[in-house]
């Protein structure tokens, strides 16, 4: 028994001695080398200040404003923070990866001499460090007009987010590297007139040519821009990409997409550029899709385009967009993915939506997140479907109460069959097209998803709830539209003896609700055609051959067949 007690005493003494020997200064040095990626020599160049209770503060001798913190107790380290990131330690691969990249760049003189070797080493180092080469980094690597300053900014943005989220220490680190390499970061300003084109190699094996143009028109677009509908309009700017059709598995028809902005008499027109078999055509987005009272430029991004505005000497705005649902017949949509409004030295607002998620607005001030607001269906996510001045471009506008875009008691379809019974094996009565508004009269059990009973005009049946969005959902679908090719009768049914609902004149506009064989079931609005169908409009059937279809109302005037 005495022996056991003696051993316990020895163990307790050893443990207490070990605890007493914990050196918080050494713990801070360990953090510098093992967590933050400094070398031992660099760690020795730090000043350390221990309050003797629970905190060590430490900083580089030549940067007393870059203060790290280590928190500890009698058992050792309990955490800490870094001057370069506001959320404690930077998530994997962390600040050690940042320091390793900056160290290799310094040793290889990459930033000052941004040549092919530097670009290749930069790309490989990101892979070595477990960092994906995102769109900004790939642009810095592949775009011959990019500089070492652009590459540095892209890397830091990849690791720490947009600059308006950066801490003062991170901004000073970036500025110090630029100064050491005699570099200047490209400012957001009106670009020089001209055409910039470069090629990138995609993983698919295709070679993609990207082009940005400002106040000049690329040769391949001049024929498309000569069409009569653009008479009197001046091309301001645009961007496009086109691949060569050579893929790893087999050759495909070359194709491409782009955006261009035009101006006439104080109005601006945004158009989608569509390339099929080396022939460029245009699909209008609308003359309400662009700000008219400030400079703008359009640029390629890795997966879409950006529309950049210079609102003032100190304030810029940017819409990140993609072109979606391009299916020919004049149908295409310019979908907003993110909006940013940044005031130099002031507030920064970001409004963003992920697929199936609500819109989220975040307001930053001095590198700190001040306010977050999440709202479903706060924004119509398609340029041209609204006047751009209605976009909630401030936090106050975003926070303001707005009615649900899907009316109460209705659902918006994303493409779903209308069935005679609550079974996918029952009679198919036609397919509701994306964006159609249908009343939800009753919810019935289903496996795996419930069924909705609906009645749209003379149509009656059931749809799977899996393909219907309600007021509690966040995703809105554009709805195709049409106009009559000639004077035509709107029918009560598709049968030869079915009567007429009403007669429509040539050019009458309508929303496409459902298709069945050679027929469309349509909704003619009571008044002016809007983005969403009028549930109280006039319903009926038309032969597909009697209408011209498009994605949005403005596109109908550009599509003849």
Count of CB atoms within 10 A of residue 536's CB? 8
Q: CA 218 to CA 222: how far, in whole Å?
A: 7
* Residue 531, phi then psi, degrees to nearest 5: -65, -45
Quote the pLDDT of residue 496: 85
Quote the pLDDT of residue 468: 92
Mean pLDDT, to the nearest integer, of 135-142? Answer: 81
Among 2.60.210.10, 2.160.20.60, 2.30.30.40, 1.10.150.120, what is the CATH number of 481-556? 2.30.30.40
Quote the pLDDT of residue 560: 67
pLDDT digits over 67-119, tens only? 999 999 888 888 888 999 877 666 656 899 999 999 999 999 999 999 999 99
Say whether pLDDT at 329 is over 90: no
pLDDT digits over 266-314, tens only? 999 999 999 887 889 888 998 999 999 999 999 998 779 999 999 998 9
Mean pLDDT, to the nearest integer, of 218-232? Answer: 92
**Pair 154, 138: CB distance under 8 Å:** no
**DSSP-derived secondary structure letter, 452:** E
Quote the pLDDT of residue 185: 85
Please provide the distance, in angstroms rounded to a whole number, between the alpha carbons at the two ends of the chain. Answer: 101
Domain residue extents for the chain: 2-81, 94-180, 194-399, 410-469, 481-556
Quote the pLDDT of residue 358: 83
Mean pLDDT, to the nearest integer, of 472-491? Answer: 86
pLDDT digits over 145-187, tens only? 899 999 999 999 988 888 999 999 999 999 999 999 999 987 6
Quote the pLDDT of residue 355: 64
**Pair 522, 537: CB distance under 8 Å:** no
Instruction: Identify which of 390, 318, 309, 400 has the alpha carbon closest to the alpha carbon of residue 352.
Output: 318
Q: CA 555 to CA 276: how far, in whole Å?
A: 18
Q: Which residues pair with 240 in a beta bridge?
A: 211, 258
Task: Provide the pLDDT confidence category of residue 8 given band limits of 50, 70 and 90.
Answer: very low
CATH of domain 410-469: 2.30.30.40
Quote the pLDDT of residue 19: 43
Count of CB atoms within 10 A of residue 157's CB? 17
Q: CA 280 to CA 283: how far, in whole Å?
A: 10
Quote the pLDDT of residue 302: 76
pLDDT digits over 188-215, tens only? 667 888 999 988 877 777 888 999 999 9
pLDDT digits over 340-389, tens only? 999 988 899 999 987 667 889 999 988 889 999 988 766 788 999 889 99
**Average pLDDT over the chain, rounded to whole?**
87
Say whether pLDDT at 217 is over 90: yes
Query: Which residue matches tokens 């360990």?
Result: 30
* Residue 216, phi then psi, degrees to nearest 5: -140, 155
Mean pLDDT, to the nearest integer, of 33-61? Answer: 94
**Domain 410-469 shares a fold with domain 481-556:** yes
């Amino acid at each position: 028994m005495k022996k056991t007690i003696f051993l316990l005493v020895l163990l307790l003494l050893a443990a207490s001695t070990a605890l007493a020997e914990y050196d918080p200064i050494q713990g801070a040095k360990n953090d510098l080398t093992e967590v933050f990626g400094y070398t031992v020599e660099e760690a020795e160049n730090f000043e350390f200040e221990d309050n003797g209770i629970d905190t060590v503060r430490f900083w580089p001798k030549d940067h007393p404003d870059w203060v790290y913190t280590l928190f500890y107790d009698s058992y050792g380290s309990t955490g800490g923070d870094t001057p370069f990131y506001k959320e404690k330690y930077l998530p994997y691969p962390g600040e050690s990866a940042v320091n390793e990249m900056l160290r290799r760049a310094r040793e290889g003189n990459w930033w000052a001499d941004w040549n092919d070797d530097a670009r290749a080493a930069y790309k490989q180092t990101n892979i070595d460090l477990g960092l994906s080469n995102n769109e900004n980094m790939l642009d810095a690597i592949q775009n011959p007009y990019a500089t070492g300053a652009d590459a540095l900014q892209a890397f830091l943005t990849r690791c720490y987010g947009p600059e308006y989220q950066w801490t003062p220490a991170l901004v000073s680190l970036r500025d110090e590297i630029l100064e050491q390499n005699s570099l200047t970061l490209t400012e957001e300003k009106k670009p020089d007139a001209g055409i910039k084109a470069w090629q990138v190699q995609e993983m698919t094996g295709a070679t993609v040519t990207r082009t940005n143009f400002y106040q000049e028109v690329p040769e391949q677009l001049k024929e498309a821009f000569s069409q009569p509908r653009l008479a009197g309009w001046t091309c301001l700017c645009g961007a496009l990409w086109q691949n060569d059709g050579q893929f790893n598995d087999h050759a495909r028809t070359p194709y491409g997409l782009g955006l261009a902005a035009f101006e006439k008499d104080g109005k601006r027109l945004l158009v989608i550029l569509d390339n099929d078999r080396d022939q460029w055509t245009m699909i209008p987005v609308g003359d309400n899709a662009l700000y008219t009272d400030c400079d703008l430029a359009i640029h390629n991004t890795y997966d879409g385009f950006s529309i950049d505005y210079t609102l003032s000497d100190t304030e810029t705005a940017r819409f990140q967009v993609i072109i979606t649902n391009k299916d020919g017949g004049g149908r295409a949509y310019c979908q907003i993915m993110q909006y940013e409004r940044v005031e130099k030295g002031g507030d920064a607002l970001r409004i963003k939506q992920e697929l199936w998620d609500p819109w989220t607005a975040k307001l930053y001030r001095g590198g700190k997140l001040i306010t977050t607001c999440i709202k479903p269906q706060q924004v119509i996510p398609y340029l041209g479907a609204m006047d751009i001045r209605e976009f909630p471009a401030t936090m106050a506008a975003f926070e303001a109460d707005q009615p649900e875009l899907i009316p109460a008691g209705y659902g918006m379809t994303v493409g779903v069959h209308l069935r005679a019974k609550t079974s996918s094996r029952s009679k198919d009565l036609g397919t509701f097209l994306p964006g159609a508004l249908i009343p939800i009269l009753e919810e019935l059990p289903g496996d795996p998803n419930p069924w909705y009973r609906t009645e749209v005009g003379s149509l009656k049946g059931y749809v799977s709830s899996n393909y219907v969005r309600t007021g509690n959902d966040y995703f809105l679908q554009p709805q195709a539209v049409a106009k009559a090719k000639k004077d035509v009768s709107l029918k009560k049914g598709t049968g030869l003896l079915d009567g007429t609902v009403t007669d429509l004149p040539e050019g009458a506009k309508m929303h496409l609700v459902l298709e069945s064989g050679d027929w469309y079931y349509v909704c003619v609005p009571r008044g002016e055609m809007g983005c969403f169908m009028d549930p109280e409009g006039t319903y009926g059937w038309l032969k597909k051959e009697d209408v011209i279809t498009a994605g949005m109302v403005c596109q109908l005037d550009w599509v003849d067949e």
